[in-house]
Structure 1
Amino acid sequence: MDTQTRRGGRYKWVALSNTTLGVLMSALDGSIVIISLPAIFRGIGLDPLAPANIGYLLWMILGYLLVSAVLVVTLGRLGDMFGRVRMYNVGFVIFSVASVALSFDPFHAGGGALWLIGWRVVQAVGGSMLTANSAAILTDAFPREQRGMALGVNQITALAGQFLGLVAGGLLAELDWRAVFWVSVPFGIFGTVWSIRSLREISRPQRARIDWGGNVTFALGTAVILASITYGIQPYGGAATGWGNPWVLGGLGAGIALLAGFCVIETRVPSPMFQLSLFRIRAFTAGNLAALLTAIARGGMQFMLIIWLQGIWLPLHGYDYEKTPLWAGIYLLPLTAGFLIAGPVSGFLSDRFGARLFSTGGLLLVAGSFLGLLALPVDFSYPAFALLLVLSGIGQGMFSAPNTSAIMSSVPDNQRGVASGMRSTFQNSGTSLSIGVFFSLMIAGLAGSLPSTLTGGLQAHGVPADVAANIAQLPPVSTLFAAFLGSNPVAHLVGPGLLNQLSPADSAALTGKEFFPNLISGPFHDGLVTVFVAAAAMALVAALASASRGKRYFHQD
């Protein structure tokens, strides 16, 4: 079967449907754990709000993202060398095996958390194989006049999967925390058999020597930087964050040095892992810069909206804390709807009119939605909130599909695997960076006003001044994660002994649905202003980068 035959008829639709299933699974599992963390930690008998367990909490979220950011370029390059479909099929197998192992955690407490973190890392390796090669497989299978539509469906499915994972996690956690991992098993097995039986290599693999120096320095440098950012969120000494920790600063310095060494290596080896020459293509460089900034802004929005809903808005509207993860996912569905509406349509239209108009316009819409969210009160009216979510989803859909198509069409045929991996690296790194950037901004905002607010609120309900002062000095990251997990930490902080000594009215008020949300709403809004202004600024810079991509460009092989 020649290339033209494979790009016509049924095969391209088989490739689209199978790769869409693959990226949906990978993206969904990247976020499904976020919303179900309270149930998972209860299931293994671990208190997520205990200071000693914050590291487990962070690595449950970030381990998957970190591995995805580190490995996708390497796995995309290996796809170019040994076959994109072959690497994709192996990814399905690894992903399925890890999903089974996650659902049978045999340990308890810390050991159970380490088992889950370890197998999440393995699962991320499989997911990286899927995402690193899916766009390249589609670019091979579809003629260029249909790539925008195909990549739009694929890319928007991946982005929508991040938010559908929030709903799925909330629903499945209600049944059993292990169901969060069970759900991937049948789809993984089905997708594995289907991909092995139906997908075929179109482009000829370009055998070359593996760039060990580049692979090692890139993997270590990226991992050290992202790990340092992770620990920078956690308190150090008397500081609210760890950015003054010598190990964090040293890790950032070492990571930057390793990446500098990586760039030198890549200019001197005959078959580099990371094709730096691709950055000479303006459409490729501008598209990836815009994707990185958009991923940072989108990741920050996702986490801040979860905190806003679970920690403040839903309890104020009468929802039990145990139910807030599920309902937060449901109330975020307008964002996913915007993705699904705009993504395929803009991808189809960009095939005819080019990517610049849609991508740039979409990012301007995203920036406007951030400013609109900033104007809402903490206890907002939901219709206004939902409208802004739809607009943000439409803007991100308008950007993502045409941008991905423009990036992939601008590179030579034999470098599509590594180009797909590089694109995924920028996107996944942006998501990981967003946690460090926006959580740090929010923690800094809370650190300025939360202690006095917490002290006054506790004393107003009978807590002795010295006890209230001690509680107020606890790291604000614990309060932030309590809101993120949809948990009321007041009973945990005050302790059952002291609560029993208070009047029934004061005890009920402290542990009720309104005290904690009202307590943190002021400090949270202070931090929210900083976060959404920064996110809007990133979206505007991304729009500028998108506008600078030039006219439509297709690489002539």
Structure 2
Amino acid sequence: MTTKETDRIPGASETGQHRGRRWIGADHPGYKWVALTNTTVGMLIATINSSIVLISLPGIFTGIRLDPLEPANVSYLLWMLMGYMLVTAVLVVALGRLGDMMGRVRIYNAGFLIFTITSVILSLDPFHGGSGALWLIGWRIVQAIGGSMLMANSAAILTDAFPARQRGMALGVNMVAGIAGSFLGLVLGGVLVTWNWRSIFWVNVPIGLIGTVWAYKSLHETGIRRPGRMDWWGNITFAIGLTALLAGITYGIQPYGGHTMGWTNPWVLAGLIGGAVMLAVFCLVEARVAEPMFPLRLFRDAAFAGGNAATLLGAIARGGLQFMLIIWLQGIWLPLHGYDYADTPLWAGIYMLPLTIGFLLAGPLSGALSDKFGARLFAACGFLVMAVSFAGLLVLPSDFSYWVFAALIFLNGLGGGLFAAPNTAIIMSSVPADARG
């Protein structure tokens, strides 16, 4: 009996009988491809949204008539940058657990709906100045809840739908779509914000509507669902601890007391120390409750622990690179080459295309090959290729030759694509079926 068959909840195959309401039953051979295409769209839209705002910030603040660099307005800038990602980081584990309990498809579908509705609301911001910024920050936080529902459950839905021999390929397509989405968002943001800043939210609406209807009509629960009680203390301590820690880091980059950075700010120190203490309390809670939000015993598995550590390191490297390349291109290289500052978001996105192309080429191929030849070799080689590209970027002068720069970021994209799918397959295959969310 295949992994796919044993992972289904009792009666899952009977969903195929509702063909008047659904497109393809869960027992249909083509269902796995339906699951792959829909979850890939979900991952793509969630991750595009996180970076499309990053590169569009100058246009957004111009549109709402707010100078984000004035001391009184810096907090608006910081929360516009970090709010979506912070909420995603805080909620993704809890929403994955909720998917394990209530059904991954149910939570995933709700995420698509929330994400689409909030995209419409964001584009209708009726205010200017601080009120306009608060509207965007508040609804971006709500949108992050929907994005978290998508990201927390898409890989679990795929793992349930695909047999073990094809999981690397499926997760490769899904994860590379997610990672590439963060770079496609840079290109889309650069193009759209020069036309109308509201269009960076409009672009989500048609995709979200199609994806929402498609998800509700085509996806079925095929995995083990383990009903249980919500671990409230675990959720509370995790949310408070991670929010305090990430908020402390966010405000740590803001000038304070004559220093260029804010690491001596008492509130920053309280956030960092208090957040770390609260996360330690979270670990104690999880070790003692009968039904934890996150079973810490999973870290006893070397593949799970190592794969997640590698994911964290890769995300730090990729996020730092993305942030610095935007500053480098928009603030230094493009103006040096005669580009008007108003046009730099568009051209920064265009000039970063080799990075996205590298991801798109390597990811699905790496996932398919890792199914045949083993995931660890490809994951390790991907990190090595990324390291080589970082070494090359370190020695580039400020006014670099574009073709050398393009080759290096293409190499970085290849490395990221080689790494993402096999590493995700290692993680997802190392956990019990009822803990995949």
TM-score w.r.t. length of structure 1 = 0.74
Contact 1:7/1:142 (<8 A) preserved: no
1:266 and 2:283 equivalent? no
For 1:70, the equivalent position in structure 2 comes to 90
SS at match of 1:177: coil
Deviation at 1:27, TM superposition (A): 0.1
SS at match of 2:410: helix
Contact 1:135/1:151 (<8 A) preserved: yes
For 2:34, the equivalent position in structure 1 comes to 14
Q: Larger Rg: 1 or 2?
A: 1
Residues in 2 aligned to 1:176 and 1:383: alpha-carbon distance in whole angstroms: 31
1:44 and 2:44 equivalent? no
For 2:13, the equivalent position in structure 1 comes to 2
Q: Given residue 49 of structure 1, which amino acid in structure 2 is its aligned partner?
A: L
Equivalent residue in structure 2 for 1:117, among 137, 144, 156? 137
Map 1:397-416 to 2 at 5 A: 397-416=417-436
1:388 and 2:399 equivalent? no
Q: Given residue 233 of structure 2, which amino acid in structure 1 is its aligned partner?
A: G
Deviation at 1:251, TM superposition (A): 1.1
Deviation at 1:8, TM superposition (A): 5.8
For 1:102, the equivalent position in structure 2 comes to 122
Map 1:209-224 to 2 at 5 A: 209-224=229-244
Residues in 2 aligned to 1:61 and 1:266: alpha-carbon distance in whole angstroms: 31
Residues in 2 aligned to 1:166 and 1:20: alpha-carbon distance in whole angstroms: 18
Residues in 2 aligned to 1:386 and 1:107: alpha-carbon distance in whole angstroms: 40
Deviation at 1:186, TM superposition (A): 1.2
Deviation at 1:250, TM superposition (A): 1.0
Which 4+ residue blocks in structure 1 deviate beyond 6 angstroms? none
Equivalent residue in structure 2 for 1:204, among 191, 201, 224? 224
For 1:508, the equivalent position in structure 2 comes to none
Residues in 1 aligned to 2:169 and 2:203: alpha-carbon distance in whole angstroms: 28
Per-residue Cα deviation, 1:106-149 (whole angstroms, up to 9, x for no partner): 11100000000000000000000000000000000000100000
For 1:84, the equivalent position in structure 2 comes to 104
Deviation at 1:220, TM superposition (A): 0.7
SS at match of 2:288: coil
Deviation at 1:7, TM superposition (A): 6.6
| Residues 142 and 376 of structure 1: CA distance in aligned 2, closer, same or farther (over 3 Å) | same
| Residues 170 and 158 of structure 1: CA distance in aligned 2, closer, same or farther (over 3 Å) | same
Residues in 2 aligned to 1:413 and 1:209: alpha-carbon distance in whole angstroms: 18
The percentage of aligned residue pairs carrying the same residue is 65
Equivalent residue in structure 2 for 1:298, among 278, 294, 318? 318
Residues in 1 aligned to 2:402 and 2:373: alpha-carbon distance in whole angstroms: 36
Q: Given residue 109 of structure 1, which amino acid in structure 2 is its aligned partner?
A: G
Residues in 1 aligned to 2:27 and 2:383: alpha-carbon distance in whole angstroms: 32
Map 1:246-261 to 2 at 5 A: 246-261=266-281
1:275 and 2:295 equivalent? yes
1:336 and 2:356 equivalent? yes
Map 1:143-154 to 2 at 5 A: 143-154=163-174
Q: Given residue 328 of structure 2, which amino acid in structure 1 is its aligned partner?
A: W
Task: Indicate the RMSD between aligned Cα atoms, in angstroms.
Answer: 1.2
For 2:397, the equivalent position in structure 1 comes to 377
1:142 and 2:165 equivalent? no
For 2:252, the equivalent position in structure 1 comes to 232
Deviation at 1:184, TM superposition (A): 0.6
Equivalent residue in structure 2 for 1:191, among 208, 211, 218? 211
Contact 1:8/1:142 (<8 A) preserved: no
Deviation at 1:2, TM superposition (A): 3.2
Deviation at 1:271, TM superposition (A): 0.6
Equivalent residue in structure 2 for 1:27, among 47, 63, 69? 47
5+ residue gaps, structure 2: 1-11, 17-24
Deviation at 1:58, TM superposition (A): 1.2
Contact 2:224/2:433 (<8 A) preserved: no
Equivalent residue in structure 1 for 2:264, among 198, 222, 244? 244
Contact 1:337/1:393 (<8 A) preserved: yes
Deviation at 1:48, TM superposition (A): 2.1
Residues in 1 aligned to 2:242 and 2:395: alpha-carbon distance in whole angstroms: 36
Q: Given residue 374 of structure 1, which amino acid in structure 2 is its aligned partner?
A: L
Residues in 2 aligned to 1:351 and 1:157: alpha-carbon distance in whole angstroms: 18
SS at match of 1:2: helix
| Residues 162 and 110 of structure 1: CA distance in aligned 2, closer, same or farther (over 3 Å) | same
Q: Given residue 317 of structure 1, which amino acid in structure 2 is its aligned partner?
A: H
Residues in 1 aligned to 2:130 and 2:13: alpha-carbon distance in whole angstroms: 54
5+ residue gaps, structure 1: 418-557
Q: Given residue 156 of structure 2, which amino acid in structure 1 is its aligned partner?
A: A
Contact 1:266/1:274 (<8 A) preserved: yes
Residues in 1 aligned to 2:192 and 2:345: alpha-carbon distance in whole angstroms: 11
Residues in 1 aligned to 2:75 and 2:366: alpha-carbon distance in whole angstroms: 41
SS at match of 1:241: coil
How many residues end up aligned between the 2 structures?
417
SS at match of 1:214: helix
Residues in 1 aligned to 2:304 and 2:26: alpha-carbon distance in whole angstroms: 26
